[in-house]
């Protein structure tokens, strides 16, 4: 990393670390953003396998007509948990894994703003995720679909604990998402290295920022809807009770749910868009085309996403005016999305392209997401939507955006940042094979669902009779699904090979552009030995090529006034040639005077307390009491813990 010379600031030494945990306890008590990121990634991948097995069971059941392999009630639980798992326990936390690992490195920070809060987010996520899945043990998993429409979920119609696992599980998981989002908003606003102005931030950091705002504004709405459902089921309220004499409105649930639910789909896709915006410039060896427009488009998507929810409700009879309004806003949200797609294509245009695995996934993201986006526009059109509502065409659409989009982008991110996290490269040959297996399997699985939907196959049926014309494409889809399962096994194989005998990666294996590539792989615990000073977009690229930068027009000046917290720190001259930096330059954090926070038990205790507190409603009030005591202890001990970070 380039050393910078800052003149005229007094020196103070930071206190040494006081407590060190080792082995597994160092992972349990860790507050290091990189370790928490790895924990998030591994846990989310485990849930990905669970959700994937659920998907394969669904596809096995649907492979042939009239199949009686899976009981209809079990089938309901499978598709409900498949959707809920993939959204809340896979795509979101996998994105958060990258937020954790990448964002502090990209902005040149030592850690996130609130390291212990970060640990709390993770532990709430993992305990909440296990709790949500605990229904399987009782044979009573959630069974009302991932959007759990009222009044199917009311106690009168769904008396078992199934929907309680869903309601309480999502309430718990929501606190994890919100705590993480608050953390990243503050981190990005406040922890940027000197010179890293907002419009110099890497696009992935930008998308993390936008996604975090979506989370803190969308999750309170689902929280309220879930509380109302909980109160209806357990405390006798009438929020969704349409019985005569009460006259509640079941549509209230749909409004609240989709007011959350549509921003939620952008919470799922924006991080993947950020990842792709990082990968494409590196492997095209060109700056991102129209950086500012890409950023503004992301912000525009976030704003408009709060105004499109009723396009999920065209068939509920809202009336022509409401339908026309939401048709228009839904069309409008496609515009910034389309702008981004053209920016990505223009980034590739004229670049010297390298087709490494991250690049292949990034290109797959752009093309598959475009297909999903186009089918999405087709059901923004109200009369067309009337035909498509609740058919397999919808299933095809959202798998093209969420698997072809989000998961392809996240897989690209795995291949791209794996060497940074582990210090080893993934195998390119296995990777390329894995990519093609996934891509072909994906299109075989979900492409035919467009035809099935158009031919009238409704979603969520556990079987179908022969002679509907659906047999062939269902079989093809099932074969595709198994191919994807094989692709996931290949990814695990590739990861195992890499960890055991993978080729060691340098700090900058892809000739990257952003600051995470400026430090060794894996990064030292303190990240940056010196806080970098940022001179323009693609900060690391500018440090590597200080003299070409002016010609490329991506830097403002070689002489920068450094300010921190509004205080003038000094003037920085041309950055040094980074090649002078050697591993020996990195000494232990204490010697460098870098302050590292201690590990802490209290986030873990508080997280378990919260989940026990919620689970008590199903398993008995004693558990609620225990959870409350653990939370009270955890929070107070946390507040009075000696502040060392």
Partner 1 sequence: MEHAVASAHAAEHEHETSTGLDNRKLVMWAFLASDCLFFGSFISTYMIYRGRSPTGPCPHECVLNGVHYEGIFSIPYTSVSAFVLLMSSLTMVLALAAIQRGDHRGLRVWLLATALLGSVFVGGQYFEFTTFYHHGLSLSVNLFGTTFFVLTGFHGAHVTVGIIMLLSLLLTSLLGRLPASDSLTVELTGLYWHFVDVVWIVIFTVVYLLPA
CB of 299 to partner 1, least distance (A): 16
Candidates 236, 317, 319, 383; binder of partner 1 (CB under 8 A) is 236
Candidates 71, 139, 249, 460; binder of partner 1 (CB under 8 A) is 249
Contacts of 643 (CB under 8 A, 6+ apart): none
| Residue whose CB is less far from partner 1, 236 or 553 | 236
For residue 196, state whether it binds partner 1 (rule: CB under 8 A): yes
For residue 33, state whether it binds partner 1 (rule: CB under 8 A): no
User: Which residues in 48-63 are b (16+ Cβ under 10 Å) and which e?
Assistant: bebbbebbbbbbebbb
For residue 110, state whether it binds partner 1 (rule: CB under 8 A): yes
With contact defined as beta carbons under 8 Å apart, do 95 and 179 qualify?
Answer: no
| Residue whose CB is less far from partner 1, 197 or 328 | 197
For residue 137, state whether it binds partner 1 (rule: CB under 8 A): no
| Residue whose CB is less far from partner 1, 352 or 582 | 582
Rg (CA), the chain: 25
CA dist., res. 580 & res. 502, Å (int): 27
Candidates 38, 91, 256, 362; binder of partner 1 (CB under 8 A) is 256
For residue 191, state whether it binds partner 1 (rule: CB under 8 A): yes
With contact defined as beta carbons under 8 Å apart, do 224 and 256 qualify?
Answer: yes
CB of 232 to partner 1, least distance (A): 8
CB 369: neighbour CB atoms within 10 A?
A: 28
Count of chain residues binding partner 1 (CB under 8 A): 63
- Which stretch, 92-100, 190-198, 539-547, 550-558, contacts partner 1 (CB under 8 A)? 190-198
- Which stretch, 26-34, 75-83, 181-189, 388-396, contacts partner 1 (CB under 8 A)? 181-189
Helices (H) and strands (E) in the chain, counts: 21, 2
| Residue whose CB is less far from partner 1, 110 or 340 | 110
Candidates 46, 49, 152, 252; binder of partner 1 (CB under 8 A) is 252
Residue 229 corresponds to which tokens in the numbers above? 């459902």
Candidates 237, 250, 378, 384; binder of partner 1 (CB under 8 A) is 237
Which of the 8 DSSP states describes residue 90?
I
- Which stretch, 443-451, 491-499, 590-598, 601-609, contacts partner 1 (CB under 8 A)? 590-598
Candidates 137, 321, 584, 639; binder of partner 1 (CB under 8 A) is 639
Residue 498 corresponds to which tokens in the numbers above? 């890499």
| Residue whose CB is less far from partner 1, 295 or 529 | 529
What's the angle, vertex CA 275, arms to CA 549 and CA 494, rounded to 5?
115
For residue 223, state whether it binds partner 1 (rule: CB under 8 A): yes
For residue 584, state whether it binds partner 1 (rule: CB under 8 A): no
CB of 284 to partner 1, least distance (A): 30
CB of 187 to partner 1, least distance (A): 8
Report DSSP letters for 313-370, one per residue.
-GGG---HHHHHHHHHHHHHHHHHHHHHHHHHHHHHTT------HHHHHHHHHHHHHH
- Binding to partner 1 (CB under 8 A) within 533-572 occurs at 564-567, 569
- Which stretch, 119-127, 188-196, 382-390, 398-406, contacts partner 1 (CB under 8 A)? 188-196
CA dist., res. 10 & res. 148, Å (int): 60
Candidates 91, 92, 105, 113; binder of partner 1 (CB under 8 A) is 113
With contact defined as beta carbons under 8 Å apart, do 113 and 186 qualify?
Answer: yes
Candidates 23, 66, 68, 247; binder of partner 1 (CB under 8 A) is 247
For residue 228, state whether it binds partner 1 (rule: CB under 8 A): yes
Q: Quick one: residue 593, left, alpha or beta (phi over 0 = left, psi -120 to 50 = alpha)? A: left
Which of the 8 DSSP states describes residue 404?
I
E-state strands within 480-592: 560-564, 567-572
Residue 159: phi and psi, rounded to 5, are -75, -20
| Residue whose CB is less far from partner 1, 428 or 576 | 576
CA dist., res. 5 & res. 571, Å (int): 8
CB of 567 to partner 1, least distance (A): 7
For residue 245, state whether it binds partner 1 (rule: CB under 8 A): yes
For residue 192, state whether it binds partner 1 (rule: CB under 8 A): yes
- Binding to partner 1 (CB under 8 A) within 281-340 occurs at none
SS3 of 547-568: the string is: CCHHHHCCECCCCEEEEECCEE
Candidates 147, 182, 619, 633; binder of partner 1 (CB under 8 A) is 182
CB of 68 to partner 1, least distance (A): 42
| Residue whose CB is less far from partner 1, 3 or 74 | 3
Residue 570: phi and psi, rounded to 5, are 150, -175
Contacts of 480 (CB under 8 A, 6+ apart): 440, 441, 442, 443, 444, 445, 446, 447, 448
- The residue ranges that bind partner 1 (CB under 8 A) are 3-6, 9-14, 110, 113-114, 178, 182-183, 185-186, 189-192, 196, 216-221, 223-225, 227-228, 231, 235-239, 245-249, 252, 256, 259, 529-531, 564-567, 569, 592-595, 636, 639-640
């Amino acid at each position: 990393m380039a050393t910078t010379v800052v003149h005229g600031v007094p020196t103070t030494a930071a206190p040494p670390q006081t407590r060190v945990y080792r082995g597994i306890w160092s992972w349990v008590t860790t507050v290091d953003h990189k370790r928490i990121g790895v924990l998030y990634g591994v846990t989310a991948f485990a849930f990905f396998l669970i959700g994937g097995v659920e998907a394969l069971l669904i596809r096995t059941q649907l492979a042939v007509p009239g199949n009686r392999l899976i009981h209809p009630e079990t089938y309901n639980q499978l598709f409900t948990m498949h959707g809920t798992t993939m959204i809340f326990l896979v795509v979101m936390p996998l994105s958060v894994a990258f937020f954790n690992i990448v964002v502090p490195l990209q902005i040149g920070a030592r850690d996130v703003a609130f390291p212990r809060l970060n640990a709390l987010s993770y532990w709430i996520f993992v305990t909440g995720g296990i709790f949500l899945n605990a229904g399987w043990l009782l044979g009573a998993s959630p069974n009302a679909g991932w959007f759990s429409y009222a009044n199917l979920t009311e106690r009168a119609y769904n008396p078992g604990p199934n929907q309680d696992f869903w309601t309480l599980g999502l309430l718990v998981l929501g606190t994890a998402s919100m705590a993480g989002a608050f953390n990243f908003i503050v981190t990005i606003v406040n922890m940027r290295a000197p010179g890293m102005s907002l419009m110099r931030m890497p696009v992935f950091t930008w998308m993390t920022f936008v996604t975090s705002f979506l989370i803190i504004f969308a999750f309170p709405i689902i929280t309220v809807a879930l509380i109302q459902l909980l109160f209806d089921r357990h405390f006798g309220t009438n929020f969704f009770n349409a019985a005569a004499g009460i006259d509640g409105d079941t549509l209230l649930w749909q409004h609240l749910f989709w007011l959350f639910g549509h921003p939620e789909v952008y919470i799922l896709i924006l991080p993947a868009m950020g990842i792709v915006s990082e990968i494409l410039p590196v492997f095209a060896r060109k700056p991102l085309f129209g950086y500012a427009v890409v950023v503004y488009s992301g912000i525009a998507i976030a704003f408009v996403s709060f105004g499109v929810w009723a396009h999920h409700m065209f068939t509920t009879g809202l009336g022509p005016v409401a339908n026309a309004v939401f048709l228009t806003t839904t069309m409008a949200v496609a515009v910034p999305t389309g702008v981004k797609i053209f920016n990505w294509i223009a980034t590739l245009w004229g670049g010297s392209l390298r087709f490494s695995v991250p690049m292949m996934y990034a290109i797959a993201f752009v093309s598959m997401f475009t297909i999903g986006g186009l089918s999405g526009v087709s059901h923004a059109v109200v009369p067309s939507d009337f035909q498509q509502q609740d058919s397999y065409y919808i299933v095809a659409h959202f798998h093209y955006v969420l698997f072809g989009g989000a998961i392809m982008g996240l897989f690209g991110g795995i291949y791209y940042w794996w060497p940074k996290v582990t210090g080893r490269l993934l195998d390119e040959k296995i990777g390329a094979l894995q990519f093609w297996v996934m891509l072909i399997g994906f299109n075989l699985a979900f492409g035919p669902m467009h035809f099935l939907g158009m031919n009238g196959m409704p979603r969520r049926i556990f079987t179908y009779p022969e002679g509907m014309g659906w047999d062939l494409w269902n079989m093809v889809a099932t074969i595709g699904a198994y191919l994807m399962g094989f692709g996931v096994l290949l990814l695990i194989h590739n990861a195992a090979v890499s960890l055991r005998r993978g080729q060691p990666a340098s700090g900058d294996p892809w000739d990257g552009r952003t600051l995470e590539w400026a430090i060794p792989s894996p990064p030292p615990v303190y990240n940056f030995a010196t806080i970098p000073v940022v001179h323009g977009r693609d900060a690391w690229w500018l440090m590597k090529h200080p003299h070409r930068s002016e010609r490329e027009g991506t830097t403002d000046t070689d002489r920068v006034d450094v300010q921190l917290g509004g205080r003038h720190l000094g003037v920085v001259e041309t950055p040094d040639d980074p090649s002078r930096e050697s591993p020996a330059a990195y000494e232990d954090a204490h010697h460098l005077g870098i302050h590292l926070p201690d590990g802490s038990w209290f986030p873990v205790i508080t997280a378990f307390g919260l989940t026990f507190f919620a689970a008590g409603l199903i398993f008995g009030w004693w558990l609620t009491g225990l959870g409350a005591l653990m939370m009270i202890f955890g929070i107070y001990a946390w507040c009075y813990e000696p502040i060392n970070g």
